[in-house]
Amino acid sequence: MKFVDEAFIDIAAGDGGNGCVSFRHEKYKEFGGPNGGDGGRGGHVFAVADPNLNTLVDYRYSRRHDAKRGEHGMGSDMFGAAGADITLKMPVGTIITDAETGEVLYELLNPGEVITIAKGGDGGFGNLRFKSAINRAPRQKTPGWPGEKKNLKLELKVLADVGLLGMPNAGKSTFITAVSNARPKIADYPFTTLHPNLGVVRVGPEQSFVVADIPGLIEGASEGAGLGHQFLRHLQRTRLLLHIVDLAPFDDAVDPVAQAKAIVNELKKYDQKLYNKPRWLVLNKLDMVPAEEREARVKDFVKRFKWKGPVFEISALTREGCEPLIHAIFRHVQSEQRVENEPVEVDPRFAGDAPA
C-alpha cells in the first residue's frame, strides 16, 4: 500500500433541528396550551487515534465527511432526536491543522485517544419554551444552530524513539531488519525504501523501543531533491538520530566523509531543532573492509569528519556490533523517558491554589 502522510478533508457537523410551534387539541379543553418540542442536536465529528493504521491514504479518496442533522421538534411535547455522530479513524501521530490558516488544532499522540473536531449545532426551541404567565399561547420558535464546518489538513508524523539517517544504500533497511521485526525491501540499488518503515526492537522482557527508517537523503533534500525530504518530518519526534554511513562504497570515487557532511547540512537547513537532536555516528558495512584496514579507516573518517560524539562500528549484514549498539540506544531512550516524566519543581511562593 502506498504510504500517504498528508491529506486534506472537509468536515461538517450536523445542524440542529428546528423548534416546533404546536398546541394541544383535546376534547373539552378549549385552550390546551403550547406543546411544541425542541429540535435535536446535530451530530458531532470525532477523530480517534487507531494504532492499527499507519497511513492517511483513506482520506485521499474520501474527502468529504458530514454528520447527520438533528430532527425537528414535534407536537405533543416531543423533542427531535439528535443527529448521528461520525468517527474518523486516524493513525497515531496525526496532526490536524486548519487548511486555511495553518493553525495546529489537534494532535493524536496516544492510541485510542478521542477528540471532537467539529461540534454539532444545538437544536432550536419549540414554543413550549416560551410559555409564561403573561404569554399563555406563544407562537415563537427558533431554528436550529448550524454545525461547525472546517477545512482541515491532516499530517502524519510517525512516533518513534530512534530515527535513521543516511544516504541511499547506506544500509539503513538492512540494519532495521537485523535489529527489529520490520521487513522492508532490501536491494543493491539506491532508493529501495520509498516510505517510512517502523520496527520494534526487543531488548528484553517488557523492554523495547521503536526505530523509524525513512528514504535515503541526497544533497538538496531540504529543497525537495530526492525522496527523503518528504519524510524528514517523521524524525522530529524521535529522541535519538542514528547517522548511518557506508564505510565501503562500491565506487572508489565516492567519499563517505563528503556524503556524511552533506546529510548534516541538509538536516540543518530543514530544521534547526532536528539538527540539535542527539545524534550518533554508526559506521556500517565493516564486513566489506579488510580486518587489517578497519581501525585505520575508522580513525581517518572520524578525524576528517571532525566528529566528537559517540561512534559505533557495525556490519548490519552480519550483525557484528549491533548488540552493543542496541543496548546503548535502550539506555539512552530510558534516560530520556525518565527526564520527561520527572515532576516539575514548583517555587514554594507559587505552590498555593491558583486564582479562580
What confidence tens digit (pLDDT) does each residue in 62-79 have? 899 999 999 999 988 899
Residue 245 has pLDDT above 60, yes or no: yes
Condensed to tens digits (0 to 9), the pLDDT of residues 295-350 reads 898 999 999 999 888 999 998 888 999 999 999 999 988 887 666 555 545 445 43
The residue extents of the domains of the chain are 6-156, 162-341
CATH architecture classification, 162-341: 3-Layer(aba) Sandwich (3.40)
26: confidence class by pLDDT, cuts 50, 70, 90? confident
- The reply to whether 6-156 and 162-341 are identical in fold is no
Question: Which pLDDT belongs to residue 187?
Answer: 45
Query: Rounded to an integer, what distance in angstroms lies between the CA atom of residue 268 and that of residue 247?
Result: 23
Sign (positive/negative) of CA torsion 191, 192, 194, 195?
negative
- The DSSP letter of residue 347 is -
Q: Calculate mean pLDDT across residues 247-253.
A: 80
Q: Would strands 64-66 and 104-108 be described as parallel, antiparallel, or unpaired?
A: unpaired
CATH 3.30.565.10 is right for the domain spanning 6-156: no
Question: Which pLDDT belongs to residue 125?
Answer: 94
Please report the beta strands in 174-264, taking only residues with DSSP state E, as ranges in sequence order.
Answer: 197-204, 207-213, 240-246
User: In the chain, which residue ranges form alpha helices assigned H by DSSP?
Assistant: 58-61, 172-179, 256-270, 272-275, 291-305, 322-341
Question: Which pLDDT belongs to residue 254?
Answer: 82
Residue 86 has pLDDT above 60, yes or no: yes
Condensed to tens digits (0 to 9), the pLDDT of residues 153-210 reads 998 877 678 888 888 777 888 888 888 876 655 544 444 444 567 777 888 776 878 8
* Phi-psi region at 206: left, alpha or beta (left = phi > 0; alpha = psi -120 to 50): left
Q: Global pTM?
A: 0.62
